[in-house]
A and B are shown apart, each in its own frame.
Chain A
Amino acid sequence: MVQDKTFASRMFDFFNVLLLAAVALLMLLPFLHVVMGSFTTTEELARKPFVLIPTEFTLDAYRYILSTNTIFRALAVSIGITLAGTLISMILTSFMAYGLTRRDLDGRKTINLMIVFTMLFNGGMIPTFLVVKNLGLIDTYMAMILPSAISAFNLIILRSFFQGLPDGLEESAKIDGCGDFGILFKIVLPLSLPSLATISLFYAVTYWNSYFSAIMYINDAGKWPIQVLLRQIVIAASGMAADTTNEFIKPPEQTIKMAVIVVSTVPILIVYPFLQKYFAKGALVGSVKG
C-alpha cells in the first residue's frame, strides 16, 4: 500500500511498529522458554525457572524422543492425515459453503439453521462412536478424518466470505454460459484465496492435533498419529508409572515434556508463512467492471 509521507502518518507507523514489537516479544518469550528448555538439562531447568539461554546445552530430550521406533511412523501418519483430511474437508466445506450462498435455494434457511444447531448440540462420545463403528470405520485412517470432516464454524465463515463476493460476477458468468460448478471453479474459488488459505490452515491444525479420534477409533498402535505418541511420552515422563517396589523405573526428564511441545507444534508453525502469500491484497481489483 502506498504510504503517504505526512508526519502524522509516520508517527502512526512508528508507534504501531513499536507496539507490535512489544506484543510479539510478550507472546514469544514463554514459547522461547519452552524451546530453550528442551535443549537444556533438567538440573538447570530446576535451578532457574526461566531459561532463556541454556548454559548446559544438550540434545538428550530429543534423542529420547527420536529413539522410539514409532516416532517416524507416527509422523508419517500425522502428515498423511493432515494432508488428506485438509483436502477432503476443503472440498466438502467449500462446495457446501458456496451452495448455501445462493439465495434462491429452497430450504436454504433451514439448512443453515440445522448447521448452527450442530454447533450447539452434541450427542456425545458414545453415540458418535457407535456411528463410526457401524460404518465399519474402526481402526481405519478414515476414522480420524471423516467424523470431523466439516466444521460448522469453518463452514459458516467460508460461506460468509463467499457471500462477500460481488453479485455481478456470478451474473456475468451465467450470461457467458457458465454452469453452477463452472462458477464455483472458475470464479469463486480463484478469487477466494485468502479465505481458502485461512480455512485450510484451520483444518490442517485440527487434523494435526488429532488425539481424541485416534484414541477412540484406533486400536492398532501402528496407526497412531503423533499426538498420541507424544502424550504417552509425557505420561511416561511424568513418572505416573505404577509405583511398585521395582527399583529400576526411571522416569525420564522434565525437559522431555518441552521437547515434545516443540516437536508437536513446530511443523505446523512452519505452514503459516507459506500460506501468507495467499493473503495478497486486492485480489478483487478489476474483477467487476462497470
Chain B
Amino acid sequence: MGNNVNRMKWVSAFCSLTVATAVFAGCGKNSDESAGDSGKTGGDSGPVKITVMADLQTTEVPSDKIEKLLEEKTNAQFDIQWVPDGSYDEKFQAAFATGSLPQVVYLKNSASFVLLRDAIKNGQFWEIGPYLKDYPNLKNLNPQILKNTEVGGKIYTLYQERQPARSGLIYRKDWADKLGIPAPKTVDDLYNMLKKFKEADLAGGGKTIPLADRNDLVYGSFKTLSMYFGTPNNWGIQDGKLVPDFMTKGYMDTMKFMKKLRDEGLINQDFPVTSKTDQQNLMYTGRSGAYIGTMGDVKTMQEKTEKNVPGAVFDVTNEIAGVNGKPVTWGLSGYGTLIVFPKSSIKTEAELKKILGVMDQFYAADVANLLKYGVEGEHYTMKDGKVLPVSDSKLIEKEVRPYLNMALADTTNVKPSYYTMPVAEKANTLSNNAEKFMITDPTASLDSKTYNEKGARLQEQIKDATYQFIMGKIDEAGFQAAVKKWQNDGGQKIIDEFNESYKSSGGK
C-alpha cells in the first residue's frame, strides 16, 4: 500500500520530466525544412527556382547532366529530391505531416491519389484548372484525362501520360502454328486454343500449363477476360444507374469461365497465390503457352524464353470480341502518375504561375524528348525517324533512366521509339489502337465518402468471394451472399454516393 503511494510519486516525477523535456525540445522548432529554397524567385528575369520530389526507381541517383540541360531549356533552377521508390509513400507522409513538401510533388502512382482526396478538398493544394489555358502546352492537355483527375469537379494536378489500354493476350505462336490455330478472336477461340495446348502437351512430360496467371484480379487475367463477357470496367450503367462490376452477369460468367479453366487444368492451379515472377517463369521455361497482361511484356518474354526454348515465337493480340461481337478491352484513366502543388511550399499565385510556366515546357517536344530519351548522339541515334538507344545500357541507366519518372509526356510531341522486335512494335500499335474500343471507369472522377473510408476493405470481401467461387469453395448462392454482405457493410452507401455524384456532375 505504502509502496503504491511511493510509486505514484515516482511516476508523476517521471511524467513531469518528460513534459519538461518535450516543451524544451519543441522550442527548437524550425520551419524551414523544405528541401532547398521555398520558391524565392530571384527577380522577374532570373531563373525560376523549383524544388521537386521525384520517385527514384533506379539504383542510384542520376548524374546531373540531364538536369543541367533541363535547367537550360526551361530557364529554371531545379532542386530535385530523389526518394527511393520502396519508401516513397512514407517519405511523402512524413513530409506532408511536417509541412516540408517541396513545390512540385510527384505522386508515387495513381493509387496514391486516392489518399489525398480529403486533403485536396480541404485546400491543401492549388487548384490549377483555371490557369491551364494561359500556357501553350497546358491548354492542349487531353480534357478527358484531366476530367479523370478531377476532385469535386476541379483540377488540381498535372498528369503523366500513359497509354491507357495496354492489356491483351501474349501466346506462343509456334505452338499455335503447329496445331493450326489462328489468332483467337473470341473467348471460345481462346478456350479452344488452351484446350488444344493441353492436349498436345507441347511442353512435354504432361507438364503443360496452357494459361499462366497470377495473384492479381486486375493486372492478371481476370479483368481482361471479364471484358469479353460484357462486364463493365469497375462500374457500369444498368437501367440508368451505376452498379459495381461484380453485381453484373458478365462478372459471374467470367468467374464461371475461370473456374472451368482451373477445373480442367488449363490454368496453373495455384494462380491465386502465384507471384508475377513465378508466372513469368512458367512462360520463360516454356511450360505455358498463354499470358494475359500488358502486351508490351512480350519483348522481355521473347528474349528470355528463346534462350531456354529455341524456336519459341510469341505473338500478341487484343482484338478479342465481347458480347456484341466487337473487340473490347479495359482502359485506365490515361495517366501513370500525377503532380500536385502544395500550398505549404508555393506561397503565392505569382509563384504558382511561374512554376506552371516551367512545367508547361515538360509537354513540349524539346523537354519531353530529353526526359524520355536523353541527348541525341549521346544516348540515342535516329533510325528511320525513330529513336534507337545506344547499346551502352549502363550509361543510359545512370544518366537518363531516372528522369523517365519525371517525364510528363509519353507519346504526344515525343519522337517514336524504334522497335528492334516486330512483335514489340505490334504490341505498341495494338495498344494505341485499343483507345478506340476501350471501356473506361465512369467513377474515375466521382466522389464517395464511404468509398474513401472503407472501400479497400470492402473490396477485399469481394476479392475473397471471387477467388473462393473459382476455387469451388462457395457456389453462386454463396457469392450472392457475399455481395449482400458487401452492401450491408457499407457497399450500398457507396453505390448511392457514386450515383449522386454522377448525377450532380452531369451524368454523361
A244 with B10: CB separation less than 8 A: no
A134 with B28: CB separation less than 8 A: yes
Chain B residues touching A, range: 35 or more
Q: Which residue of B lies closest to A130 (CB)?
A: B98
Q: Which residues of B contact A251 (CB under 8 A)?
A: 300
Known contacts A67-B394, A69-B60, A134-B29: does B162 contact A244 (CB below 8 Å)?
A: yes
B59 with A229: CB separation less than 8 A: yes
CB of B61 within 8 Å of the partner chain: yes
CA distance A125 to B284 in the complex (A): 41
CA distance A70 to B59 in the complex (A): 9
Q: Which residues of A contact B136 (CB under 8 A)?
A: none
Give the distance to chain A from B453, nearest Cβ to Cβ, in Å: 20
Query: Given A106, A235, A238, A244, which contacts B404 in the complex, CB threshold below 8 Å?
Result: A244
Stretch with Cβ within 8 A of A (4 or more), from B259-267, B340-348, B412-420:
B412-420
Please encode chain A, from 233 to 271, with 1 for each CB lying within 8 Å of some chain B CB and 0 for all others. Answer: 101101111111111111100100000000000000000
Interface residues of A in 128-153 (CB under 8 A from B): 129-131, 133-136, 138
CA distance A126 to B96 in the complex (A): 10
Jot down 27 A-B pairs with beta carbons below 8 A, ordered by A: A46-B284, A46-B304, A68-B60, A107-B13, A110-B14, A125-B94, A134-B28, A135-B25, A215-B84, A219-B35, A228-B84, A229-B60, A232-B58, A235-B85, A240-B57, A241-B404, A242-B57, A242-B404, A244-B162, A244-B336, A245-B163, A246-B417, A247-B418, A247-B419, A248-B393, A251-B300, A254-B277
B428 with A245: CB separation less than 8 A: yes
Give the distance to chain B from A105, nearest Cβ to Cβ, in Å: 11
CA distance A138 to B307 in the complex (A): 48
CA distance A175 to B393 in the complex (A): 73
B428 with A110: CB separation less than 8 A: no
Among all A-B residue pairs, the 7 with the closest Cβ atoms: A215-B87, A110-B10, A248-B389, A221-B61, A107-B10, A232-B59, A247-B417
CB of B16 within 8 Å of the partner chain: no
**What is the interface size of chain A, counting residues whose CB is below 8 A from a CB of the partner?**
51
Q: Which residues of A contact B29 (CB under 8 A)?
A: 134
Q: Which residue of B lies closest to A251 (CB)?
A: B300
CB of A47 within 8 Å of the partner chain: yes
Q: Which residues of B contact A42 (CB under 8 A)?
A: 304
Chain B interface (Cβ within 8 Å of chain A)? Answer: 7, 10-11, 13-14, 25-26, 28-30, 33, 35, 56-61, 81-82, 84-87, 90-91, 93-94, 97-98, 162-163, 166, 277, 281, 284-285, 294, 296, 299-300, 304, 307-308, 336, 372-373, 389, 393-394, 396, 401, 404-405, 410-411, 417-420, 424, 428
A136 with B418: CB separation less than 8 A: no
7 extra interface residue pairs, beta carbon distance < 8 Å, beyond A243-B294, A244-B404: A106-B10, A134-B26, A215-B84, A215-B91, A228-B84, A238-B277, A242-B404
CB of A10 within 8 Å of the partner chain: no
Give the distance to chain B from A49, nearest Cβ to Cβ, in Å: 9
A114 with B56: CB separation less than 8 A: no
Q: Which residues of B contact A134 (CB under 8 A)?
A: 25-26, 28-30
Q: Which residues of A contact B396 (CB under 8 A)?
A: 248
A109 with B7: CB separation less than 8 A: yes
CA distance A138 to B81 in the complex (A): 14
CA distance A216 to B411 in the complex (A): 35
B94 with A232: CB separation less than 8 A: no
A246 with B372: CB separation less than 8 A: yes
CA distance A250 to B420 in the complex (A): 14
Q: Which residues of A contact B90 (CB under 8 A)?
A: 125, 215-216
CA distance A179 to B59 in the complex (A): 54
B428 with A215: CB separation less than 8 A: no
CB of A171 within 8 Å of the partner chain: no
